[in-house]
Amino acid sequence: MSDLREEVRDRYAQAALQVLDGGSCGCGPVACCDEDQEFGAVGYDEATLGEVPEAAALASLGCGNPIAVAELHEGETVLDLGSGGGIDVLLSARRVGPTGRAFGLDMTDEMLDLARKNAAEAGVTNVEFLKGLIEAVPLPDASVDVIISNCVINLSTDKPRVFDEMFRVLRSGGRIGVSDIVAADELSAEERAERGSYVGCIAGALSFAEYERELTRAGFRNIETTPTHDVADRMYGAIVRAVKPFGLRS
């Protein structure tokens, strides 16, 4: 396992422990991402945050609201890559209803413990939190309808593998609705690193062109990458949408 992955794991384990000890992450008093960046429970209105336990919101280290762009429907199966404290899994579970299911995948034991605690407090039962890597999703081929993720793909050290796994586990016609950090095409990897750290969601970000190229290579179509707000000089919070074409299983 790479040193970077271990650094990410430790950073987010500490974030979960801070929340469990009564602190907060994201935009709260405990800084869990790079300073001067806008991360946390951003993009959620008060009514939406009211649907989940406070600890789920406090543990959020996201850069957007994938629930707002995923257009979830009753009975669907949803997978959240890098589910953290569970905010997006719990919100997804409510939207897909009792006939649907929401999976959360995270590599950090402390975040998984927090997410399960939040699910129990919220009384949400159509959820399951899985331990694993987003580069090796522990679900069968063609088993989910929708994949969401909130500021996590930029942290992967093997992004092509992540996109391949997303394509594999989606059913034919399935879709992704992802919030992530994306860089302007003209920024080099070195210039991205100058704007923030890897574990702080900046240095590892793909450019818009790289994101679209990798999704296309993996087999996705109808790809949209839309910037929503600035997080650094020519670095943006963005919404990424794409579809797995009908007739393809893996």
Q: What pLDDT digit, counting tens, does each position of 26-77 carry?
A: 443 333 344 444 555 556 656 666 666 665 555 556 666 777 778 899 999 9
Say what the pLDDT of residue 28 is: 39
Look at residue 48 in the predicted model and tell me its pLDDT.
Answer: 63
pLDDT at 100: 98
**Two tokens at 118?**
């939040």
Q: How far apart are CA 192 and CA 210, in angstroms?
A: 14
Structure tokens at 209: 């062109």
What CATH number does the domain located at 3-243 have? 3.40.50.150
Name every residue whose Cβ is closer than 8 Å to that of residue 131 and which is 6 or more positions away in sequence: 105, 106, 107, 109, 112, 138
Q: Per-residue pLDDT for the chain (250 aa), expressed as one digit of tens each? A: 478 778 777 877 787 777 766 654 544 333 334 444 455 555 665 666 666 666 555 555 666 677 777 889 999 999 999 998 898 999 999 999 999 999 999 999 999 999 999 999 999 999 999 999 999 999 999 999 999 999 999 999 999 999 999 999 999 999 999 999 999 999 999 999 999 988 888 989 999 999 999 999 999 999 999 999 999 999 999 999 999 998 766 6
pLDDT at 47: 66
The residue to which tokens 């959360």 are assigned:
104
The residue extents of the domains of the chain are 3-243
Helix 3-20 and helix 109-122: axis angle, to 10°? Answer: 40
Per-residue model confidence (pLDDT) at position 250: 62
Residue 65 pLDDT: 72
| pLDDT attached to residue 35 | 42
pLDDT score of 164: 98
Q: How far apart are CA 111 and CA 17, in angstroms?
A: 8
Predicted TM-score (pTM) of the model is: 0.85
Q: Measure the CA–CA gap between 189 and 170, rounded to whole angstroms.
A: 30
Quote the pLDDT of residue 36.
Answer: 42
Alpha carbon 244 to its chain's center: 18
